[in-house]
Amino acid sequence: MSEAVRTTTASRARLAAVAVALGSCLVLAVPAGNAGAAAADPVPTVFFGDSYTANFGISPVNHQDNERGWCFQSTDNYPAVTARSLAAKGITLAVQADVSCGGALVHHFWQQQELPFGAGNLPAQQEALQQDTQLVVGSLGGNTLGFARIIKQCSDKLREPSLLPGEPVDPDKPASECKDFFETGDGKEWLDYKYEQVEGELEEALQRMEYFSPDARRVLVSYPRLVPADITKCLAAAPGQSELPFADISQEALPVLDQAQQRLNDIMMKAATDNGADFVNLYAHTGSNTACDGTDRGIGGLLENSKLELLGSPIPWYAHPNEKGRDLQAEHVATTIETALNQ
């Protein structure tokens, strides 16, 4: 049995023990009839997630007066845009909290998150859930998979010191050999283990959502597609840019990134389906808005300057959604929420 499976099994056992101890109290505390609340009523909602929910790179940033500023959560992230678009249709999301934070791993849903530069620790995201929460929406998984580490394994430029977290999977292996590294031997074994870890931890997070907010619809949002099917589009810089969308990552390595993302997408979809949650398949809907789609790109290039600065220097997008990509996220999330609430 792998370490990831053992960890998840132990966590579920602990959660089950808590459920036995508190079950009778929680049953008494749940108001009758909440599950059938009409969509026209305000819907108590919690958003969770990582930098793709926080929409890292889009200015301005929330909570600049406290440690949550280091989450780089945009004041106009896709949760905010989604809430506005639904309000225009008469669906009001009563947002109880948006705890999305850059750098969040799946286990930060139930464990505190350490912020960079010793800025402090944030409570587990599940603490935002309430008994009357009716909707829980967000994305987690990419950081637990270690997508930034995969990118750094394939790029010399991205191995240089930056705000992009993590180290290459194996810094002794040259970036030019990353395709072979991830398809054979230790690299493939590492990647297989990380997928197993993501799957087990996502299942636990979804179960915890159901436990703490038993009447809530849960919506797991996947990640928008980064690399197009036609990788030759990645051989030209976007208009107004000098760097290629994926910097110095070789053309033969780009399908490795896409395959890694597609496998993550499949695991997220399976976790949602197996646990009775709704799933927003952004990967399937954003193939024409990748980082390599020029003026239609919904993803900022790895080294393309975002709208944020730190100490007077611009911060790159590091392959996060730009405003167009943010609006695509909001569009598909809003559609899924509307459908779910009207069922």
Q: Is 51 a catalytic residue?
A: yes
First to last CA, the chain: 40
Percent of residues in the chain assigned helix, strand, coil, to nearest 5: 50, 15, 40
Residue 260 has a CB neighbour count (10 Å cut-off) of 22
Instruction: From 10, 20, 49, select the one nearest 209 (Cα to Cα).
Output: 49
DSSP state of 58: S
User: Which one is catalytic: 55, 100, 143, 222?
Assistant: 143
**Is 306 known to be catalytic?**
no
Alpha-carbon distance of 277 to 230, in angstroms, equals 32
143 is catalytic: yes
Is 103 marked active-site? yes
Contact between residue 99 and residue 125 where contact means Cβ atoms under 8 Å apart: yes
Query: How far is the C-alpha of 120 from the C-alpha of 225, rounded, in Å?
Result: 32
Let me know: does 61 contact 76? Beta carbons within 8 Å: no
- Structure tokens given for 285: 């809907």
Per annotation, catalytic residue among 49, 57, 102, 103: 103
**Strand segments (E) across 50-170:** 93-98, 113-114, 121-122, 135-139
Note the helical H segments in the chain: 3-29, 51-54, 78-87, 142-145, 147-153, 178-183, 185-212, 254-274, 282-285, 323-341
94-108 b/e with 16+ CB inside 10 Å = b?
A: ebbbbbbbbbbbbbb
Considering the candidates 51, 55, 62, 265, report the single residue annotated as catalytic: 51
In whole angstroms, give the CA distance from residue 40 to residue 92.
Answer: 7
Q: Which residues are catalytic?
A: 51, 103, 143, 320
